[in-house]
Amino acid sequence: MNDFSRKEIIDILRDDTLNSWLFNYADEIRQKYVGNEVHLRGLIEFSNICKNACKYCGLRCENKNVERYRLTPDDIVKTAFEASKIGYKTIVLQSGEDAFFSRKILCNIIENIKNFDVALTLSIGERSFDDYKAFKESGADRYLIRIETTDKNLYSFMHPNMEFENRLNCVKSLKDLGYELGTGCLVGLPEQTIESLADDILFFKESDADMIGIGPFIPHPQTPLKDAKQGNFILALKVMALTRILLKDINIPATTAMETLNPNGRIIALQSGANVIMPNVTVSKYSSKYEIYPNKPCVEDNSVNFKKNLEERILSIGRVISKDYGFRKKTK
């Protein structure tokens, strides 16, 4: 009953009369396999400099209207320390593909942060196998790299000068190297089909991902997709719920993009299969410049107060805040 076929996934995605059943079912599976705990991961957006030109992303190199910034390695480590002091058990380092951060510089940052008794996640895009290996040896625990879409033609259109095969190889290498692997997709890209979303979900299962991040596409005014229709919140929620039902014991964040489209988006996501939130701990003068899409709600997210409020919201829906690192506990 749990393992839907491709056709069943497509039917469920198409049929909105099934939505409450789907969200409740995903919530039950979440409760059964990962329990009541919500894991908070402190996100540091350490550089908005990027060599790529992803058509949907506000940080694409061709956008000349972004004020670019890069935190110094010392500031990155300091921000991570502050986050660990207020109770974060995981630090996520995210950036554009910024060549300043060489293997050596990153290994050093990783080694320093690992002194703070935290799990460490990287989300810095495509690197060589040897880089990934070195980061792992320096102590990185997890890596997030969304496949974005498994539709190869759509992938090529969205990512000028990038190769789908290369993205796929990155995903495989990271898994082989023993990282906890996070991948995921965008929902609502122009020309994206329901069939390809079903393929994305099946890809998550096949790649044995440990975490899946799903977010609606939000058009950024300084990109070629500025006039495109934005992704649908409910459809993104459905892709997420189906992912919970099929992959069961993995970690699934209630993504910030969901909160952008719905003021209660992250709480709704927590009640439809998600069990992770990634609050922004970057100082706001930088976080506001890390505009992958507009109206990011997390720009004010970096204070102790924000964390308290969030925790209260989580408790109010009968969930608890996890005190451990929040690694995937595989049930099979």
| Interacting residue ranges for ligand SAH, rule: CB under 6 A | 56-57, 94, 96-97, 123-125, 145-146, 148, 186, 215, 217-218, 220, 257, 292-293
Q: Write down the least CB distance from residue 218 to ligand SAH, Å.
A: 4
Closer residue to ligand SAH in complex, CB, 117/227: 227
Output 11 or 222, the one with its CB closest to ligand SAH: 222
Nearest to ligand SAH of 54, 242 (CB atom): 54
Task: Tell me how far apart the alpha carbons of residues 267 and 219 are, in angstroms, rounded to a whole number.
Answer: 23
Asked if 271 and 308 touch (Cβ cutoff 8 Å), the reply is no
> Identity (one letter) of the amino acid at 235?
L
Q: Where are the beta strands (DSSP E) in the chain?
A: 37-40, 42-47, 90-95, 119-123, 142-144, 180-187, 211-216, 276-277, 320-321
| Residue with smaller CB distance to ligand SAH, 113 or 186 | 186
Of 112 and 260, which CB lies nearer to ligand SAH in the complex structure? 260
CA dist 164 and 175 (Å) reads 17
Q: Which amino acid is at 52?
A: N
Shortest distance, position 117 Cβ to ligand SAH, whole Å: 26
Least Å distance, CB 258 to ligand SAH, is 10
- Cβ atoms of 266 and 214 within 8 Å: the answer is no
Q: How far apart are CA 152 and CA 144, in angstroms?
A: 20
To the nearest whole angstrom, how small is the minimum distance from the Cβ of residue 252 to ligand SAH?
A: 15
For residue 128, the Cα-to-chain-centroid distance in whole angstroms is 21
Closest CB to ligand SAH among residues 3, 227: 227
Beta carbon of residue 56, minimum distance to ligand SAH (angstroms, whole number): 4
Q: How far is the CB of 89 from ligand SAH (least distance, A)?
A: 21
Beta carbon nearer to ligand SAH, 80 or 218: 218
Taking each helix axis from N to C end, the angle separating 233-247 and 194-206, rounded to the nearest 10 degrees, works out to 30
Radius of gyration of the chain (CA): 18
Task: Give residue number: closest CB to ligand SAH.
Answer: 125
Query: To the nearest whole angstrom, how small is the minimum distance from the Cβ of residue 223 to ligand SAH?
Result: 7
Q: Identify the DSSP state of 251.
A: B
Rounded-to-integer distance, Cα 278 and Cα 255, Å: 7
The DSSP symbol for 101 reads: S
List of residues 6+ apart from 283 with CB closer than 8 A = 79, 302
Closest CA to 292 of 39, 98, 41, 47: 47
Residue 92: CB minimum distance to ligand SAH, A? 10
The residue among 26 and 292 lying less far from ligand SAH, judged by its C-beta, is 292
The per-type count for the chain, helices as H runs and strands as E runs, is 13, 9
